[in-house]
């Protein structure tokens, strides 16, 4: 059973704060790591697909880094806004030989208040 862990479980920040969360995953048999943002009652929204050690990706105020040797990825949000409130999920990709499989972490629930 793959162990994909995220911390913290939840986070409450003020508007304008910068924040970051962690995803830990197995460092062997690495193919890719996905980050998703999931707002209540909506579809999970893909943020990044990270594939190479040292990858850094950015989308607006959100960025992510990847360390496959030690098995972790960080997601950063700069200048948090109330609309950033969501659950952020990472997912470790396994290759079964016939298809790819995502194993999700338990998520970090972010709440941004005014």
Site residues, another protein (CB under 8 A): 4, 31-32, 34, 36, 41-46, 49, 51, 89, 93, 95-96, 98-107
Closer to another protein by CB, 5 or 15: give it: 5
**If you ran DSSP here, which 8-state letter would residue 26 be given?**
-
Closer to another protein by CB, 28 or 43: give it: 43
Closer to another protein by CB, 11 or 93: give it: 93
**Sign of torsion, CA 108 84 67 93?**
positive
Per the CB < 8 A criterion, the answer to whether 103 and 4 are in contact is yes
Q: Which residues contact 85 (CB under 8 A, 6 or more apart)?
A: 39, 110, 111, 112
Q: How far is the CB of 81 from another protein (least distance, A)?
A: 23
């Amino acid at each position: 059973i793959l162990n994909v862990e995220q911390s913290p479980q939840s986070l409450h920040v003020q508007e304008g704060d910068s924040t970051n969360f962690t995803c830990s995953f197995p460092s062997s048999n690495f193919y890719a790591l996905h980050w998703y943002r999931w707002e209540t009652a909506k579809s999970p929204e893909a943020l990044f697909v990270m594939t190479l050690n040292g990858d850094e990706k950015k989308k607006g105020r959100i960025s992510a880094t990847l360390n496959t040797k030690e098995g972790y990825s960080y997601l950063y949000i700069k200048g948090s806004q109330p609309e950033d409130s969501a659950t952020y999920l990472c997912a470790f990709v396994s290759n079964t030989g016939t298809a790819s499989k995502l194993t999700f972490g338990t998520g970090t629930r972010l709440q941004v208040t005014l």
